[in-house]
Amino acid sequence: MKQPKIIIVGGGLAGLMATIRVAEMGVPVDLFSIVPVKRSHSVCAQGGINAAKNLKGEGDSTWKHFDDTIYGGDFLANQVLVKNMCELAPAIIDLLDRMGVMFNRTPEGLLDFRRFGGTLYNRTAFAGATTGQQLLYALDEQVRFHESLDRVKKFEGWTFLSAVLDDAGVARGICAMNLRTTEIRTFPADAVIFCTGGIGAIFGHSTNSVVCTGSAQSALFQQGACYANGEFIQVHPTAIPGEDKCRLMSESARGEGGRVWVPKNPGDTRRVKDIPENERFYFLEEWYPKYGNLVPRDVATRAIHKVVFEMKMGLPGTPAVYLDVSHIPRDVLDRKLEGILEIYQKFVGTDPHEEPMKVFPAMHYTMGGLWVDNEQQSTNLPGIYAAGECEYQYHGANRLGANSLLSCIYGGMVAGPSAVRYARNLEKGCDSVSSEVFDRERVRQQDITDGLLHQQGTENPITIWRELGEVMTENVTVIRYNANLKRALDRLGELSERYKKINLQDRTQWSNQTLNFARELGNMLVLAQVIALGALERNETRGAHYKPEFPERDDANWLKTTIARYNEGKISLEYQPVDTSLIPLRERKYTAAV
């Protein structure tokens, strides 16, 4: 057959890596992104990327990285895949280094590594405290090179609406909307790779960027794609609470020696600096002596919740704890953490070199995502692939810090060639598909848009979104009770009804951001139900999913992957066994060495 055509949706780390791999194989790529790809959410990743290069003489190995990841994920991740990822990690770091990433260096000119949560090894390569930005830029530059050779065509400022599926349910392209002109068009492709990132907007205030709505995943889900482990939501322990978003304070602050504490006397009115060492409660160090401040995120988040809400020891006047780096020498901070300390200073106004930062947990990451098969990153819809945060496969019930950049790049590296292989083996390419298949989808999407533009409702999309965020954050994050989850599902049902009556205050057809947001909101409401339902059904505690009514991990009943399906407006759940072929199950506790 003739040269296949690949579409990639999403231009963050996973999407750009997949793009480079496909372009390298001589196959043309159409790359779709809502924002110019250089502005993708990957820029927000701060602390680093894990790879067991063992350059610190600690006896680290890819197997230990693998073991830490499985154990950190509470044994919910399929193991072979994680092992493959950890084994490739050192080569991925080398590749990024060759691409010019300004990683921090040792005096010998080698890559420097620091410690992150959930491990005892210095395994995290980093570029200051803006590692995600630096990695994204390196891949962006490589894609620009391929673009200059016409191997890649970018469609920036387009948003994905739906997949074009033929009568056999095979993907033949996508339907997308131009955010400037509101034109809706279909684009044929032999295979489509989704790298559409996180879902933070479903929780209102999260550490995610504005574009992380999960809209694309949800649209695919409603077209028949399976969604796995949706209930596993990572709440990052240390963020600055905010009106518009919660700004992350990287785990690397603790990796470089930062300490989390509260005054032993909750009413202490002295200046922070005047509170003597023995009157400070370093609760993570006390409760988890082996890992100290570097316990995994779910553990640290629950500990902070306990201190603030159960023990009533939060900082005066605000639900927060101190994250303190003020004891670390200034030159070390400037070399290794400048990016995040600058964020704190700009947005809060105090200088973390001098004063401890006030932080509180915030929704950060979804471990769950589109279901993909074992080796190919392919979804259950033929011709559709997924990589990066939008799929479920590498982090189990809790992701370790600095593994997300790795899984994005690894997933992209696998998905690109997989999609090309599939496309090359297709008997019938997208060019031989009847135009009726494309027209049908375009008309369906145009009707949805026209409906939104013309309906005269009473509900404001931003108001519904704010309430959605409140329902989800209150009931479906750190601590989960079944009664609350049921109530949350009822509320989501109500919000979905109200959504049908929304009124767009902008009915123009030029750069109408309200229209796009309204479309995304509809998809967010569906995915929110998947998350809440998965959480309600899973009666155990595992990783980030904590139910006080079921406080133990229950391997007999719940060592399984949740699979959500969508059928005529109804969400149903089923379960799949987990691959635990390499590392035997063991109790997960960070109080002592593993």
Would you please indicate which residues are annotated as catalytic (active-site) residues? 297
Question: Of 50, 54, 119, 134, which lies in the binding site for another protein, with binding defined by CB under 8 A?
Answer: 134
Residue 511 binds to another protein (criterion: CB under 8 A) = yes
| Spatial separation of the C-alpha atoms in residues 178 and 79, rounded to whole Å | 40
Distance in Å, CB of 484 to another protein, minimum: 27
Binding range to another protein, per CB under 8 A, among 238-246, 319-327, 363-371, 528-536: 238-246
Nearest to 251 by CA among 126, 348, 429: 126
Round to whole Å and give the CA distance between 387 and 47.
21
247 binds another protein (CB under 8 A): yes
Which tokens in the block code for residue 159?
């948003």
Q: Which of residues 306-365 bind another protein (CB under 8 A)?
A: 335, 339, 343, 346-349
Smallest gap from Cβ 292 to another protein, in A, equals 27
Q: Are 214 and 225 in contact (CB under 8 A)?
A: no
Window 466 to 485, contacts with another protein (CB under 8 A): 466
| Minimum distance, C-beta of residue 236 to another protein, in the bound complex (Å) | 13
CA distance 227 to 376: 16
Residue 549 CB contacts under 8 Å (≥ 6 apart), including other chains: 481, 482, 539
Name which of 188 and 412 has its Cβ closer to another protein: 412
Per-residue contact string for residues 432-461; x = within reach of another protein by CB under 8 A = ----------------------------x-
Q: Half-sphere exposure (CA, 13 Å, Cβ side) for 29?
A: 35
| Site stretch for another protein (CB under 8 A), options 40-48, 68-76, 362-370, 582-590 | 40-48
Residue 41 or 172 having the CB closest to another protein: 41
Among 269, 505, 548, 570, binds another protein (CB under 8 A): 505
Cβ proximity of 529 and 384 under 8 Å: no
State which of residues 28, 80, 84, 147 lies at the interface with another protein (CB under 8 A). Answer: 147
DSSP string, 46-91: -S-EE-----SSS---HHHHHHHHHHHTTT-S-HHHHHHHHHHHHH
Nearer Cβ to another protein (396/411): 411
Closest to another protein by CB, 133 or 418: 133
What are the φ and ψ backbone dihedral angles of 216, each rounded to 5 degrees? -65, -45
35 is a site residue for another protein (CB under 8 A): yes
41 scored as a contact of another protein (CB under 8 A): yes
Which residues, 6 or more positions from 420, have their beta carbon under 8 angstroms from its beta carbon? 4, 6, 22, 25, 27, 191
In order of 15, 52, 364, the CA distances from 62 in angstroms are 25, 5, 26
The first and second tokens of residue 243, run together, are 């009106």
CB 263 to another protein: min, Å? 23
Residues whose CB is less than 8 angstroms from the CB of residue 108 and which lie 6 or more positions away in sequence, other chains included: none
Among the listed residues 374, 508, 572, 581, the single contact to another protein using CB under 8 A = 508
Q: Which of 2, 150, 244, 569 binds another protein (CB under 8 A)?
A: 244
Amino acid at 189: A
Closest to another protein by CB, 92 vs 295, is: 92
Contact 580, 79 (CB under 8 A): yes
Which residues are within 8 A (CB) of 537 and not within 5 positions of it... i.e. 6 or more apart?
A: 562, 573
| Near another protein in 181-220, by CB under 8 A | 209-211
Q: Tell me: does residue 264 bind another protein (CB under 8 A).
A: no
Residue 159 found at the interface with another protein (CB under 8 A): no
245 binds another protein (CB under 8 A): yes
CB of 95 to another protein, least distance (A): 6
Candidate residues 145, 316, 350, 447; the one interacting with another protein per rule CB under 8 A: 145
Minimum Å gap between C-beta 148 and another protein is 5
Shortest Cβ 568–another protein spacing (Å): 33
Q: Which is nearer to another protein, 252 or 561 (CB)?
A: 252
**Which 92-111 positions form the footprint of another protein (CB under 8 A)?**
94-95, 97-100, 102-110
Q: Burial, 244: exposed, middle or buried (Cβ in 10 Å; 0-12, 13-18, 19+)?
A: exposed
The answer to whether 131 touches 48, Cβ cutoff 8 Å, is: yes
Q: Which is nearer to another protein, 145 or 309 (CB)?
A: 145
Q: Which of residues 397-426 bind another protein (CB under 8 A)?
A: 413
Of these, 51, 127, 164, 233, which contacts another protein (CB under 8 A)?
Answer: 127
551 binds another protein (CB under 8 A): no
Among 1, 3, 141, 557, binds another protein (CB under 8 A): 141
Interface with another protein (CB under 8 A), residue from 39, 306, 498, 560: 39
Question: Please, what is the minimum distance in Å from the beta carbon of residue 94 to another protein?
Answer: 5
Element of type H or E holding 467: helix 461-475
Among 523, 546, 14, residue whose Cα is nearest residue 232: 546
Candidate segments 188-196, 289-297, 429-437, 502-510, binder of another protein by CB under 8 A? 502-510
DSSP 111: B
The one-character DSSP state at 27 is -
- Select from 61, 79, 77 the least CA-distant residue to 119: 61
Cβ-based neighbours of 361, under 8 Å, separated by 6 or more: 235, 236, 237, 238, 239, 301, 304, 305, 478
Residue type, 23: A
> What b/e string do you get for 157-171 counting C-beta neighbours within 10 Å, with b at 16 or more?
bbbbbbbbbbeeebb
Cβ nearer to another protein, comparing 95 with 479: 95
- The stretch near another protein (CB under 8 A) out of 16-24, 229-237, 302-310, 389-397 is 16-24
To another protein, the closest distance from the beta carbon of 329 in angstroms equals 16
Out of 269, 435, 513, 567, the only residue in the binding site for another protein (CB under 8 A) is 513
Is residue 87 a contact residue for another protein (CB under 8 A)? no
Number of residues that bind another protein (CB under 8 A): 71
